[in-house]
Amino acid sequence: MRTFLAVVLFLGLIGIVVYAAWRGIRALRQRPVGGHHPSWRVIGIGFVLGFVAFVVVAPADEEQSAQDRAASSNASIAPTATPTATPTPSASPTPTAISTRSARATRSNGTALAALETLEVKGRAPMTGYDREEFGGDWASVNGCDTRERMLKRDLRGETYESGRTCEIRTGRLADPYTATLIAYERGGASEVDIDHVVALGDAWQKGAQQWTPARRVTFANDPLNLLAVDASANRQKGDGDAATWLPANKSFRCTYVARQIAVKQRYDAWVTPAERDAMRRVLTPCPNTKLPRSGRPPVSVIARSTNANSAPTPTPEPTEPPSSDGRVFANCDAVRAAGRAPLLRGDPAYEANPQLDRDKDGVACEP
């Protein structure tokens, strides 16, 4: 209000000065020399009004300056006085920072459920061009033993070997994880044991493998992490199915099975479909602490049971030539592999002589 009044008085002063100047000019042209004219009174009044305006405006300006100084002082101390102030939008983490933090959390968590959230999710690619030959055709061979024989050697128990052939298992017993039954294996006979690709080759082809190099596809097809000795009938029922279309009948193995699929897909950067991701999440929700498997050997967490007396395995003869016939001590796993002894299985003399090489204590040392 004081500022408004001061402006009005100042404008009035300007008007009076202009008016007085006009009257004075006219008076000088008309009045006699030495006379007086009322215009001087007008000028006097104008100066009085100007003085009044100065008295009004000066305190107002001083008050405004004081307010400005106070506001500036408050602004300078605001950060110290309000340490809990809301952060500005620029302080919010970017999507890249969030995803990086999530990836670190997944690595430290180590659970299959956490790893599932890191897999890419999108639709299936077509099966166009798929052929078993795209994954190397036959099983790869290492030191004269192909992958199938190595997986049988890893997963069977009580096995016997063909005379003079440590890579050719003649008979054995399988505690099948898919059906929770005991299965008798016989080489060349009516065997009911298959080596299953946990992530089927056809499924992988539709979810990334089309773009892989041939060498990567061969590695995938022979990776022990992706292989299990299982009931042949269950394996053929599964076909190229993923977790959304097929799960083992043995419900107690489903968490382990899905965790293995996630571990394989994470290792090879294969994606999952929305339905597959949702199915995996449903399986793992009751068992959220299931860890990602790191080795090829299935965990000994399922005790197979015979469905009837006839399914019990028949006694088998003692091995004619076990894979490890002595208790030789090895310096490390490289030495074991160089000698063609890998992997060492619990019960073999060489395993008992080198228990320190079984780092994860799962009964298999120097795994592929």
- One digit per residue, pLDDT tens: the chain, 368 residues? 556 655 666 676 677 767 766 666 666 565 544 455 555 565 566 556 555 555 544 554 445 544 555 444 444 434 433 344 433 433 333 333 334 434 444 444 789 999 999 999 999 999 999 999 999 988 998 778 899 999 999 999 999 998 877 788 999 999 999 999 999 999 887 668 999 999 999 999 999 999 999 999 999 999 999 999 999 999 999 999 999 999 999 999 999 999 999 999 999 999 999 999 999 999 999 999 999 997 665 544 333 332 333 333 333 333 333 333 456 788 888 787 777 677 777 666 777 788 888 877 766 788 76
Determine, yes or no, domain membership for 97: no
Q: What pTM does this model have?
A: 0.55
Instruction: Say if residue 317 is in the same domain as residue 178.
Output: yes
Distance CA 278, CA 348 (A): 43
Please indicate, yes or no, whether residues 133 and 271 belong to a single structural domain of this protein.
yes
The whole-angstrom separation of Cα 196 and Cα 194 is 6
115 with 196, same domain? yes
In total, how many domains does the chain have? 3
- Domain hosting 42: range is 2-66
DSSP three-state, residue 293: coil
Q: What is the 3-state secondary structure (H, E, C) of 145-197?
A: EEHHHHHHHHHCEEEEECCCCCCCEEEEEEEECCCCEEEEEECCCCCCEEEEE
Same domain for 143 and 44?
Answer: no
Q: Are 275 and 131 in a shared domain?
A: yes
27 and 169 inside one domain: no
Segments of the chain assigned E as strands: 141-142, 145-146, 157-161, 169-176, 181-186, 193-197, 227-231, 344-345, 364-365
Are 296 and 189 members of one domain? Answer: yes
Looking at the fold, whether 161 and 228 belong to one and the same domain comes out as yes
Kindly state whether residues 122 and 217 are assigned to the same domain. Answer: yes
